[in-house]
Amino acid sequence: MRLSTKAQYAVRAMVSLHLHGRDAPVSLKDISTREDISQTYLEQLFVKLRRRGLVDSVRGPGGGYLLARPASLIRVDEIIESVEESLVPVACMDEDGRCSCDSQCVTHSVWQGLAEKIRGFLASMTLEDLTREARRKHEATETTDSR
Q: What is the rounded CA–CA span in Å between residue 144 and residue 59?
A: 39
Rounded to two decimals, the pTM is 0.85
pLDDT of residue 121: 95
Q: Map residue 126 onto helix, strand or coil.
A: strand
Name the nearest CA neighbour of 49 among 24, 31, 62. 31
Inter-helix orientation angle 127-145/5-20, to 10°: 70
pLDDT band (50, 70, 90) for residue 122: very high
Q: Is the pLDDT of residue 147 over 70?
A: no
What are φ and ψ of residue 51, in 5° steps?
Answer: -60, -35
Question: Which has more confidence, 21 or 128?
Answer: 128
Share of the chain above pLDDT 90, in %: 59
Residue range 41-89, pLDDT digits in tens? 999 999 999 999 999 999 988 899 999 999 999 999 999 999 987 777 7
Domains of the chain: 5-145 (1.10.10.10)
pLDDT of residue 70: 96
Whole-Å CA distances, 47 to 57, 108, 117 = 9, 35, 28
Q: What is the rounded CA–CA span in Å between residue 93 and residue 88?
A: 6
Residue-by-residue DSSP string for 33-84: HHHT--HHHHHHHHHHHHHTTSEEEE-STT-EEEESS-GGG-BHHHHHHHHS
Contact, 28 vs 39, CB < 8 A? yes
